[in-house]
Amino acid sequence: MSQTNSNSFEDDHFFRETPDSPYGKTRHKTPGGYDLIRNVHRITLYNTVASSHQHTSNRKRLYLHLDMNCFYAQVEQQCYGLFGMPVIVGGWRKENGIARGIVATSSYEARKLGIKTAMSAYEAASICPYLIFMQVHYDKYRAISREIRNILDRYSPEVEGYSMDEYFLDITHMLKSSHQEIIRFGAAVKNEIRQKTKLVASVGIARSKTWSKLASDIRKPNGLTAILTPDDAAQYLYPLSLDEVWGIGCRRFEKLRQEGVTTVAEALRRGPLVFQRLFGQYFGKMLFETVAGRDQAKVEDDPLHVPEEVTYMHTFSDWTKEPDRVKGEIIRSVQQLCYRMRGYNRRARCFKAYIRFQDAGWKGVSQIFSTPGYTNIDEYVLKACLECTMPVVHHFLRQGQAIRGFGLNTLELDASQQLELFFREGENQRNLCTAVDVLNNRFGIECVRNAGGLHAVEGKTHFLDR
């Protein structure tokens, strides 16, 4: 490691003024440059239904949503000349040819064969024996994502990187333009990206952020759809299932389905009352407004959107019956989870651990555990996690069960940073975490890590750098 100036850690990059800090200092160490999307598949971190993401005025606006179709797979096809070939990103083959891992994404050629995201690589290979496997290479994708962002910044002063492969643009300056001019604008965005990156994208344009996202899905890949009139909405959006709309997951969709409301058209016909009865007076109304394309969502230029929970899941390259290997994976999981909590400036005291078994059903067991108080320091979370999970690990290993994966997530996040009556994080532990974060943020994630994590399960993963 090269030498650094002795005053380098006093740079503002590593400190932030925190007058209300529970540590009693007005200048509290907060390492910058947290890598909060590494090893995270789901990097869509917030929902537009939230009131904090809404404009307070009813001014009419115009939005453009750009989706880089099958981004990871498309990048790998471009890098290795694999266009036209079925490619998945997130899996690999062992020396004996057996496929391992989970499909993070797949090319359209693979999707036409029935290969889907989150499918096991083994199942994908059984569908297509000549499938091409690539591992996730985030550094490459982020570099191309930055190039795309630089292009988009020239088309609008307000650009939101919703994820590495999705962007929103506020193009209200085009609101009074003709239909043809708006179409040409969207085509110009697509064409410049294609020219400079050799990658295709789909674009949706609408007067609501939600509808622009729905519109970009209509003509994939390489599509362009503008929803500018009631007739456009009736033709393209009204037939869509409600579970395609932001904020309506499987549980909310099932409640709506039981009420006979399954499409956008049916929701508009029934009105907001059914939403308010099912989901509350305020949230139900906002959810209906989102479905109806009347939301006033902002294009958020802040790159850090704090999630409602922080999660980490790792499926091992192969199953294991060694408790020390499982313990090593638990240590790595806690380190990843706590690192991300510190990056979001959040704490938790209630967590859920998930142990996945190696069997035909990919079954597992979940456990809930708590720390003595709200914290994001590895030491406290790891102690509570090991006390809860390791007896269970030993129990199932004694029964001959093999373990294939481990996951961890927070059940509640605290942003208050208030002191607690019966728990106080140790200053030495806090300072150690800060120092480790500074080094990892500067020299690469996991530059410094818990030695116990070195005993994790051997083998590849779908992440190239893992």
CB 102 within 8 A of CB 462: yes
CB 171 within 8 A of CB 177: no
Active site residue 10: no
- CA 389 to CA 383: how far, in whole Å? 10
**To which H or E segment does residue 216 belong?**
helix 209-216
Structure token digits, residue 6: 């002795």
Q: Residue 70's closest CA among 258, 264, 222, 187? A: 222
Strands 132-134 and 87-93: parallel
383 backbone dihedrals φ, ψ, rounded to 5°: -60, -45
Strands 201-206 and 159-163: unpaired
Q: Say how many CA atoms lie within 13 Å of 130 toward its Cβ.
A: 6
Structure token digits, residue 305: 């959107």
Pick left, alpha or beta for residue 185 (phi over 0 → left; psi -120 to 50 → alpha; otherwise beta).
alpha
Q: How far is CA 61 from the centre of its chain?
A: 27
CB 174 within 8 A of CB 62: yes
Structure token digits, residue 120: 């096991």
Structure token digits, residue 109: 């050629």
Tell me how far apart the terminal alpha carbons of the chain are, to the nearest angstrom: 21
Q: 77-85 — which CB contacts under 8 Å span 24+ positions? A: 77/107, 78/197, 78/198, 78/199, 79/140, 80/134, 82/107, 82/132, 84/109, 85/109, 85/132
Strands 87-93 and 99-106: antiparallel
Q: Residue 466's closest CA among 33, 35, 37, 38? A: 38
DSSP lists the bridge partners of residue 369 as: 351
3-state secondary structure of 335: helix
Catalytic residue among 76, 109, 160, 166: 166
**To which H or E segment does residue 162 belong?**
strand 159-163
CB 226 within 8 A of CB 205: yes
- Active-site annotation, residues: 166
